[in-house]
Amino acid sequence: MTGNKRLEVLLSLVLVSGVITSLAVLSIALALYYLRFGQEIIMSDEYRIVSGNFFEYLPTIGRHGFSATALMSAGIIILMLTPYVRVLTSMAYFTSERDFKYMLITAFVLAVLTASLLTH
Amino acid sequence: MVGLVEVIAASFLAGFIGSITGLGGASITTPLLTLMGVPIKNAIAAGIISIIATSSGSASSYVRGGMSNLRAAMFLEMFTIVGAILGATITLFVMPKLLYFFFAAFLLTSFIGLRRHLRDELPSEVVQDKAARWLGLTGSYYDERLGRMVTYKLTRPLAAGGGMFVAGIASGMLGIGAGAFKVAVHELILKMPSKVSSTTSTFIMGMTALAGASVYFNSGLLYLTLAAPMAVGTTVGALAGSRILWKLSNRTTRIIFLIVVAFFIVQMLVRGVLE
């Protein structure tokens, strides 16, 4: 397998597994929600994300137990982690290939995203 | 107020069209939801989350098929994410009415840029500049319709980076993928073949959307009950769309693109005036 092909397969795997997992979790969440509340889209604080930042929010998901709310949060989190893991994987790949130009480029992207997720 | 099933259905349709054109589903769902009574800032925050899903879902199959230029994408992402963070920060503070006009104005730029080039199937005789050679920006892909491998060279990545910064601002600010604009930058500045440009744009979109989403995350604008159905609807719609893209010619994807862009310019102008 040529270098590019390997990266393509790796990133494709990251993306597809992230999206499928998230989609599955969100679908179950929506089904549970629909059974309980029907058609209505509730916009109350229970369904609003309010948190210090992304990484502080992660451990709080379990608080609602196995509920539509907890599953919706988990699905959204998995979704947001998908590109994050994608850039981590790319950086690891370029590091192992000793491709320093692209290692720096992906490191910059990772640093900016991490900083923004930590400070907002 | 809009119901759950309507949101899922609208998102599915948006994801499908967004995937074929490289526009991204939220440029369509965001206006639709505001029309259905969702406040524009909430629609934007949920829209940007759903773009992560649309983009990653479609991109996974394009990437595997060797359709996207990954190196160009990773270089350009440096610019889009910084733009997206800036754009999302602007939206937190700006008057909602203005967002409709920004939406229309933004779509207009991509429409003008592409119309001229409707006849060119593939860019020819591209001379690379220094930066493009340094970054190793070349590529090849199998064009199913032409029935052969197409190799291409890209040029002017720094100018394209500037364009992508603007695309990032729009993306973060309006909660859209800004695919229209990204595709225009890829084709007009980088000289990317049309099919590579829309798939590369889709690939970049997920990262750009995450940067924007990072700003909206704790803003209090993000409702799970909007983001979840939008994410599911757009992803499934986009996956369906990506199955079809392979069979369409560059010309067909462009024509669909032009019609969709024109439609939304009118729609957002009307909304802005009525607001």
Say if the Cβ atoms of A120 and B215 lie within 8 Å: yes
Give the mean model confidence (pLDDT) for residues B99-103. 88
A15 neighbourhood in chain B, CB within 8 Å? 56-57, 59-60, 63, 206
Q: Which of A78, A64, A74 is nearest to A36 (CA)?
A: A64
Confidence of residue B256 (pLDDT cuts 50, 70, 90): confident
Length of chain B in residues, anyone? Answer: 275
Say if the Cβ atoms of A101 and B135 lie within 8 Å: yes
Read off the pTM: 0.89
B236 neighbourhood in chain A, CB within 8 Å? 23
pLDDT tens, position by position, B6-18: 999 988 988 888 7
Asked if A93 has any chain B CB less than 8 Å from its own CB, the reply is: no
B37 φ/ψ angles, rounded to the nearest 5 degrees: 105, 5
Say if the Cβ atoms of A79 and B82 lie within 8 Å: no
Q: How many CB pairs under 8 A join A and B?
A: 178
Among A82, A100, A108, A118, the residue to mutate for chain B (most B Cβ within 10 A): A82
Q: What is the pLDDT of residue A1?
A: 43
Among A61, A86, A94, the residue to mutate for chain B (most B Cβ within 10 A): A86
How close, in Å, is residue A65 to chain B by CA atoms?
A: 16
Say if the Cβ atoms of B64 and A12 lie within 8 Å: yes
B88 φ/ψ angles, rounded to the nearest 5 degrees: -65, -35
Say if the Cβ atoms of A4 and B70 lie within 8 Å: yes
Q: Which of A68, B230, B178 is nearest to B222 (CA)?
A: B230
B133 neighbourhood in chain A, CB within 8 Å? none
Crossing angle of helices B4-21 and B26-35, rounded to 10°: 150
Asked if A100 has any chain B CB less than 8 Å from its own CB, the reply is: no
Length of chain A in residues, anyone? Answer: 120
> Could you give the 3-state DSSP secondary structure of residue B40?
helix
**What is chain B's mean pLDDT, rounded?**
85
Say if the Cβ atoms of B70 and A8 lie within 8 Å: yes
User: What single letter denotes the amino acid at residue A108?
Assistant: F
A23 neighbourhood in chain B, CB within 8 Å? 53, 57, 231-232, 235-236
Alpha-carbon distance of B209 to B214, in angstroms, equals 8
A102 neighbourhood in chain B, CB within 8 Å? 71, 74
Alpha-carbon distance of B24 to B54, in angstroms, equals 7
A49 neighbourhood in chain B, CB within 8 Å? 217-218, 220, 222-224
Alpha-carbon distance of A37 to A89, in angstroms, equals 40
Stretch among A70-74, B117-121, B142-146, B230-234 having the lowest mean pLDDT: B117-121
Say if the Cβ atoms of B82 and A83 lie within 8 Å: no
Tens of pLDDT, residue by residue, chain A (120 residues): 456 788 999 999 999 999 999 999 999 999 999 999 888 888 888 888 887 788 888 887 777 677 888 999 999 999 999 999 999 999 999 999 999 999 999 999 999 999 999 988
Q: What is the ipTM of this complex?
A: 0.93
More confident residue, B180 or B162: B162
Of B64, B210, B232, the CB nearest to A27: B232
- The answer on pLDDT for B78 being more than 90 is yes
pLDDT tens, position by position, B126-162: 889 999 999 999 998 888 778 888 899 999 999 999 9
Alpha-carbon distance of B7 to B145, in angstroms, equals 35
A99 φ/ψ angles, rounded to the nearest 5 degrees: -95, 90
The interface residues of chain A toward chain B in range 8-67, judged by CB-CB distance below 8 A, are 8-9, 11-12, 15-16, 18-19, 22-23, 26-27, 29-30, 33-34, 38-43, 47-54, 57
Say if the Cβ atoms of A90 and B74 lie within 8 Å: yes
Give the mean model confidence (pLDDT) for residues B174-203. 86
CB B85 within 8 A of CB A112: yes
Alpha-carbon distance of B213 to B222, in angstroms, equals 9
% pLDDT > 90, chain B = 39
